[in-house]
Amino acid sequence: MFVKFVLVFFVLLQGSFVAAEKYNVLFISADDLNTDLGCYGVEQVKTPNIDRLAKMGVRFDRAYCQQALCGPSRASVMTGLRPNTSGFVWLKDDLRKLQPDVVTLGQYFKQKGYYSGRVGKIYHYGNPSEIGTDGHDDPQTWTETFNPYGIDRSQEEKITVYPASRKGKGLGISMAWWDPESADDDHTDGKVASKAIELIEQHKDEPFFIATGFFNPHCPYVAPKKYFDMYPLEEIKMQGLKEAKADLADVPKIALKRDGKFWPYYMKDITYEEARKCKQAYYACVSFIDAQVGRLLDSLEKNNLMEKTIIIFWSDHGYFLGEKGLWYKRKNFERSVRAPMLISGPGIVKGGEVFSPVEFIDIYPSLVDMAGHKVPQGLDGVSLRPLLKNPKLEWNRPAISQVHYSPKEQGYSIRTKRWRYTEWNGGMAGKELYDHKTDPDEITNLADKPEYQSLMSGFSSQLLKYSSTYTAHKPPKNGDSILEIFKKKK
């Protein structure tokens, strides 16, 4: 009897040890990175390390941000809340003023006894103006933080800006590039990777949540020359401006409000060849980031941490590179709201691909769940654990994205497996409907076709529960919206 009791006690005790095991989280983000990556089918762009990560875990083919603007998107990822739930809809909103009691993702892990460290950009930063500072960070999220900066910040005067008349007028919204003969570690993102590797090695014997935030490929597009050399300029192709803009003939005017007066390619007086040069530079920055991701993966392998670490790679939103005559983000088009998301780790299928839409607010509950913890109540997202274990599982949740031009000018978009439906000001300012089965580039707006009115009515009803939650507030005085910045320049 005593022996039996001891055996039962041992089994229970052993089970408690298994349950108590804490998986690490390596949380990797890139800034303004679209899905022009090898593992997303764009073979021109050389990303062997991101592709390597995709083979290690699950690639989400249709992952969508909730707002295609850095600050709100990053806040939604870190809180698991939609922009309208948190109130964070402007570039420089203050998370703690809006939601003083929110428990952020890194904060949650910190409360569970993890080391929570940040290197680089996770919350919003002005880029490059706030590189090397805390930017708009949330101190409660982290155990400690680090803000490296390299020559892309300290030698900004060497950056080529288009048009030349904009030199010295700020690089945060620019078409600008630089290809110095330099080492990776001369640049901010090289230093970010080096510091993250240092943290991995320092904290390898305790549970950690290490957030590594790269600033590239956000403009200005600066990377070592060797990455530019990977993309001969003659191989960089772009749609002609006339043809590109024709794609927008059937789009509501409000959908293009930010860009209309600043073409070609968003900034005035930029030539087609200059835009191609910027696209080359963007791809160079993508390959530069890919190399840093490889260094992080190598560090986990070197320290025997692969089997106990969940890795996620994501970007805050997508990015236009001349398609439809557009550049940058802040649109409800697929190119703007779709972004890469890869997750690997213990218990996650290797080489899996999910083609159902998922949302970035799902990141928070997914990481908590996969790390073996209880998902907090009150999050807007859901755990993707079922898909991480079975990528072919039927998944019918749509993805919701939004754009805010002003408290009275908003657009909401719903993405299902087949359709994207967008309405502006509740449909009063225009509607868009795209069939991704036949029109993946969203060229033909079907919203005026009688045969689709019933379908659109159903989508509109679904969007209403999201748009009706918005509480209007003006942009912070110390951080105007991008739209307001341009109004001041007129």
CA neighbor of 192 nearest in space, from 129, 107, 122, 141: 122
Q: Where in the sequence numbering do the catalytic residues fall?
A: 70, 124
Cβ 346 vs Cβ 371: under 8 Å? no
Q: Scanning the structure block, which residue is given the tokens 């680089």?
A: 120
Cα-Cα-Cα-Cα dihedral of 159, 164, 169, 171, to 10°?
-40
CA neighbor of 64 nearest in space, from 260, 279, 354, 368: 354
Element (H, E) at 282: helix 272-302
Other CB atoms within 10 A of residue 48 CB: 14
Q: What single DSSP character describes residue 32?
A: S
Q: How big is the CA angle at 196 (ends 316 and 347), to the nearest 5 degrees?
A: 70
Q: Scanning the structure block, which residue is given the tokens 């000001």?
A: 425
**Torsion sign, CA atoms 91, 92, 93, 94:** positive
Other CB atoms within 10 A of residue 272 CB: 14
User: In angstroms, what is the C-alpha Rg of the chain?
Assistant: 22
CA neighbor of 401 nearest in space, from 342, 454, 467: 467
- Helices 188-202 and 272-302, packing angle to 10 deg: 10
Other CB atoms within 10 A of residue 157 CB: 8
CA neighbor of 138 nearest in space, from 168, 167, 116, 161: 116
Distance from C-alpha of 204 to C-alpha of 208, rounded to nearest angstrom: 8
Q: How big is the CA angle at 331 (ends 329 and 333), to the nearest 5 degrees?
A: 110
Cβ 310 vs Cβ 367: under 8 Å? yes
Q: How far is CA 179 from CA 86, 112, 127, 187, in A?
A: 40, 43, 18, 11
Q: How far is CA 383 from CA 59, 80, 93, 364, 376, in A?
A: 15, 10, 27, 8, 11
Cα-Cα-Cα-Cα dihedral of 192, 193, 194, 195, to 10°?
50
